[in-house]
Structure 1
Amino acid sequence: MAELMRAVGYRKNLPISDPSSLLDLELPVPEPGDHDLVVRVRAVSVNPVDVKVRASSDPHGEPKVLGYDAAGIVERTGAAVTLFKPGDEVWYAGSIARPGTNAELHLVDERIAGPKPASLDFAQAAALPLTALTSWEALFDRLRLTSQSTGTLLVLGAAGGVGSILVQLARRLTDLEIIGTASRPESRRWVLERGAHRVVNHHDDLAEALPDGVDYVFTPHSAGMIETFATIVRPFGAVVAIDEPPNLDLLPLKSKSIAWHWELMFTRSLYDPTSTAQHEILRQVAELVDKDVLHTTLTRRIDGITAANLREAHAAVEAGATVGKIVLAGF
């Protein structure tokens, strides 16, 4: 009989208020492929992608496990693994094409995992991988910024999960002026504490709030914003987006030759599975954390990776008013 493990998943798309929207499950312990780590998961965080997949991907009655952030301990390794050994502490964001991290034991390709920062506990670490990878790729791969880059970067949703680490990375690893958007007093304080030079209210008219314009924009909220970007972004500037609004018309950006970039953290694991780029990014981020250059974005810890606790976390993320990250620790 196959060895079983605890996990949390779903069998059909239901509103998060429905007790069956996420379920406590017992599933077979997975067997590693050649480059896989078998990780005993100690903590996970909840991202908007968890909510999106739960709402849009119908498993037709089969159990589907979500979760795209984890910190844990390597228990076993595949035959070809060279980067880690059993007992190593790791953190990672996984692949959208594989079962998720909301399970006691989880398979992840060694090439998209990194060594966990020694200075963080598992919960503090689990807040960061997906958002740090997204932010790093957006800034340094998509926008191609460097330590010498100057100008002004506008970060929409700067108090959110990605914004909270992107502001830190941009402030500490570039020479840009960082402007974040936030509305509530606690959100504004959070963004300034992360390193933004100033904060503007995203409910205000950004063209009026930013009369001198900006060179770069990071956006998780692009619907209805293209005309605004066309107004506030300076000629030859650039926008990087992580959302997917339907029927997006980018033509207003053309007259200023404004570049538009998409950032999807899962592109590498989907289309370039042999790349170790995300392993290297996570290693560099861990070093910056251990040097006290970057800080965890955990703002709420829930003890127990259970269906009830994950439903509570999903509901909070769906509401769209979270600051930083929600993390669940321990089975």
Structure 2
Amino acid sequence: MKAIVTPGPRPVADPAALADVEAPEPELRPRDLLIEVRAVALNPVDFKVRLSRAPGDGAPDILGYDAAGIVTAVGPEASLFKVGDEVFYAGQINRPGSNAERQAVDERIVGPKPRSLDFAQAAALPLTSLTAWELLFDRMRAGVDEHETLLVVGGAGGVGSALIQIARARTRLRVVATASRPETRDWSFGLGAHAVIDHSGPLDEALIAAGERAPKYIASLTQTPRHFEALIRAVAPQGVIGVIDDLPPGPIDGLKSKSVGLAFESMFTRSVQGTPDMVRQHDILSGVAALVDAGRIRTTLTEVLGPISAETLREGHRRLESGTTIGKLALTGF
């Protein structure tokens, strides 16, 4: 089958950073689905893995962690889907990814594709929606009926775009997003943020200047080392700071005096660790699909770059590495 692989860490400007190849057909595990990939979407994890991972044992290293497609076969213990079903999913970081014509994926991390979206629109949602949902409800444990404030640091990014919508659709939280450009401010408001503050300076000062109360929940989705001291000052006593990137080196003593929780979210934890609640990702994606079809969440796709190929993927990686993209980029078909 056709696939795009990485030969190991190379800059995106290198034509060999991603290569078109003929790869072996996937082998199904008992609870796997074999999926014909119709569209993929890009996330920062794609280029981060490309820059850090070398292929193992001579096998092609196929990246890609967002996709939508059609089930063409099921493993002997699979029961959630049947051949012909349209699905969307984010895959598993320690298995071959979605940048291939076909992919084997555990059914417990796959959801039914929203009926109201095409494949590219659907492919833009899984990784960011799963990350946002897990961070808000499983890690920070926000209540759906709380009249508290949620600060979303990086509202126009992929996860921020999903988190604003999920919080508005499923909770009574006041959602305050951060942005620094007119287009990212408009994007965040368009997704439902109650307010948008500038993250080019100290965030605690920006919250005060905007007349916002101390947020009980802070979702730090980007540049956490830069903002962390301000987030400690900003968070409400007994609140929670949720992080999806990395903490800065140094002490975190400021959290203790306020009894603030610190939570980490990695969307791949359940699948890589094989946790007993792995099927929760299927349930979350099913919930996201229902919200989309009910008109309460929209796709965050902003552009389809073209067909799934090494050349088009390199362009997508280049744009993501620039750090200026809004929403999600997708590719369709081979």
The answer to whether the superposition gives a TM-score over 0.5 is yes
Query: Secondary structure at 1:236's aligned position in 2?
Result: coil
> Equivalent of 1:53, from 49, 54, 68?
49
Amino acid at match of 1:68: Y
Contact 1:223–1:248 at 8 Å: present in 2 too?
Answer: no
Query: Aligned pair 1:42/2:38, yes or no?
Result: yes
The CA distance in 1 between the partners of 2:27 and 2:275, in whole Å, is 19
Q: Compute the TM-score of the two structures, normalised by the length of structure 2.
A: 0.95
Aligned to 1:219: 220
- How far has the Cα of 1:140 moved from its partner? 0.8
Amino acid at match of 2:168: R
- How far has the Cα of 1:62 moved from its partner? 4.4
The CA distance in 1 between the partners of 2:28 and 2:247, in whole Å, is 36
Contact 1:226–1:250 at 8 Å: present in 2 too?
Answer: no
Amino acid at match of 2:5: G
Aligned to 1:312: 315
Instruction: Tell me which stretches of 4 or more aligned residues in structure 1 moved more than 6 Å.
Output: none
Q: Compute the TM-score of the two structures, normalised by the length of structure 1.
A: 0.96
Aligned to 1:287: 290
Unpaired runs of 5+ in structure 1? none
The CA distance in 1 between the partners of 2:59 and 2:286, in whole Å, is 35
Unpaired runs of 5+ in structure 2? none
Query: Aligned pair 1:188/2:185, yes or no?
Result: yes
The Cα offsets for residues 261-317 of structure 1, whole Å up to 9 and x where unpaired, read as 000010100123553110011011101100001100000112200000000000111
Alignment of 1:240-279 (within 5 A): 240-245=242-247, 247=249, 249-274=251-276, 275-279=278-282
The CA distance in 1 between the partners of 2:257 and 2:44, in whole Å, is 33
Contact 2:8–2:52 at 8 Å: present in 1 too?
Answer: no
> Equivalent of 1:30, from 7, 14, 26?
26
Alignment of 1:5-20 (within 5 A): 5-20=1-16
The Cα offsets for residues 39-69 of structure 1, whole Å up to 9 and x where unpaired, read as 0000001111111111111226642110011
Between 212-221 and 155-164, the greater mean CA deviation after superposition: 212-221
Contact 2:228–2:248 at 8 Å: present in 1 too?
Answer: no
Contact 1:150–1:177 at 8 Å: present in 2 too?
Answer: yes
- How far has the Cα of 1:254 moved from its partner? 1.5
> Equivalent of 2:117, from 105, 113, 120?
120
Aligned to 2:140: 143
> Equivalent of 1:237, from 220, 239, 244?
239
Between 248-257 and 113-122, the greater mean CA deviation after superposition: 248-257
Amino acid at match of 1:85: K
Contact 1:24–1:307 at 8 Å: present in 2 too?
Answer: yes
Cα RMSD for the two superposed structures: 1.3
The CA distance in 2 between the partners of 1:282 and 1:170, in whole Å, is 15
The CA distance in 2 between the partners of 1:142 and 1:103, in whole Å, is 32
- How far has the Cα of 1:134 moved from its partner? 0.3
Contact 2:215–2:235 at 8 Å: present in 1 too?
Answer: yes
- How far has the Cα of 1:12 moved from its partner? 1.9
Contact 1:11–1:62 at 8 Å: present in 2 too?
Answer: no
Amino acid at match of 1:225: H
Same amino acid, percent of matched pairs: 51
> Equivalent of 1:100, from 80, 93, 97?
97
Amino acid at match of 1:288: L
The CA distance in 2 between the partners of 1:23 and 1:15, in whole Å, is 13
The CA distance in 2 between the partners of 1:31 and 1:271, in whole Å, is 20
The CA distance in 1 between the partners of 2:55 and 2:26, in whole Å, is 19
The CA distance in 2 between the partners of 1:149 and 1:213, in whole Å, is 14
- Going from structure 1 to structure 2, the CA distance change for 1:308 and 1:78 (only over 3 Å counts) comes to same
Aligned to 2:331: 328
The CA distance in 2 between the partners of 1:109 and 1:62, in whole Å, is 20
Query: Secondary structure at 1:108's aligned position in 2?
Result: strand
Aligned to 1:82: 79
> Equivalent of 1:165, from 137, 157, 162?
162
Between 50-59 and 108-117, the greater mean CA deviation after superposition: 50-59
Query: Aligned pair 1:302/2:299, yes or no?
Result: no
> Equivalent of 1:156, from 153, 158, 162?
153
- Going from structure 1 to structure 2, the CA distance change for 1:237 and 1:98 (only over 3 Å counts) comes to same
Contact 2:316–2:329 at 8 Å: present in 1 too?
Answer: yes
